[in-house]
Amino acid sequence: MTEPFGIRLRRAMDERGPLCVGIDPHASLLADWGLNDDVAGLARFTRTVVESLGETVAVFKPQSAFFERFGSRGLAVLETAVEEARERGALVLMDAKRGDIGSTMAAYAETYLRKDSPLFSDALTVSPYLGYGSLKPAVDLARESGAGLFVLALTSNPEGAEVQRAVREDGRTLAATMLGHLAAENAGAEPLGSFGAVVGATLGDLSSFDLAINGPLLAPGIGAQGATPADLPKVFGDAVRNVVPSVSRGVLRHGPDAAALRDAAARFAEEVRTALD
């Protein structure tokens, strides 16, 4: 059987450093690299990132939307990137933020979490705001496949607060409710559960939330969005060791030079290690 995602993630971060690098081929970033905003540019960009960093970073996080905008040819580039990244030993976290109900949610889960799918990924971002129970098909298939989920809980975008910090009749916020569900999913898992939360690194003091879910905390917002590795301890408190800091433009802007990409990723990883220590 495949080892659970939480075990593989902990090992990858211990061995390669606690860093997730996004693969976000914005049109502006392609232009900065001297590439056309077309499938050929997309393929060149993605291949360069994977080949440059695939043997050193712990996690890649491709943003599916930037591939989907090119239709089936863009998805073919994404399929190749997922396969090649995993062949190089990196974990792949597909940033697709899927969320639906019933058979539709099951189909999304099969797309990314079924082992024989061309887009099979080590983990997937999902949205729980049709009710946490709507994620059950993804939770079940993730367990079966040894994959993981990252559930949107406290995101870095300002608009998220109107939903995530809304208070239920029982006095808990929706975000706290989602964190509680994840803690239950991860109960008893060692050394780390496979069901994580997305918690923005730009949010400041989160001491009013219980982030001790025994699972990973994906922390976007480092680099271009303004957060730094030094901010992580004050944002995440005692849960900081389970943080998976995510950097995209802060690394990608150094391309297309492979050595510059590697240096930027290594620098961020070292800054994270220093902050965690």
pLDDT digits (tens), the chain, 277 positions = 589 999 999 999 999 999 999 999 999 999 999 999 999 999 999 999 999 999 999 999 999 999 999 999 999 999 999 999 999 999 999 999 999 999 999 999 999 999 999 999 999 999 999 999 999 999 999 999 999 999 999 999 999 999 999 999 999 999 999 999 999 999 999 999 999 999 999 999 999 999 999 999 999 988 767 889 999 999 999 999 999 999 999 999 999 999 999 999 999 999 999 998 8
Catalytic status, residue 61 = no
pTM score of the predicted model: 0.97
pLDDT, position 185: 98
Active-site residue (options: 61, 97, 136, 234): 97
> Can you give the length of the chain in residues?
277
- Cβ distance 194 to 148 under 8 Å? yes
Q: Where are the alpha helices (DSSP H) in the chain?
A: 5-16, 27-32, 39-53, 65-68, 71-87, 102-113, 136-145, 161-164, 174-185, 232-236, 249-252, 258-276
Give the model's pLDDT for residue 276: 86
d(C-alpha 202, C-alpha 204), whole Å: 6
Q: How far apart are CA 181 and CA 197, in angstroms?
A: 10
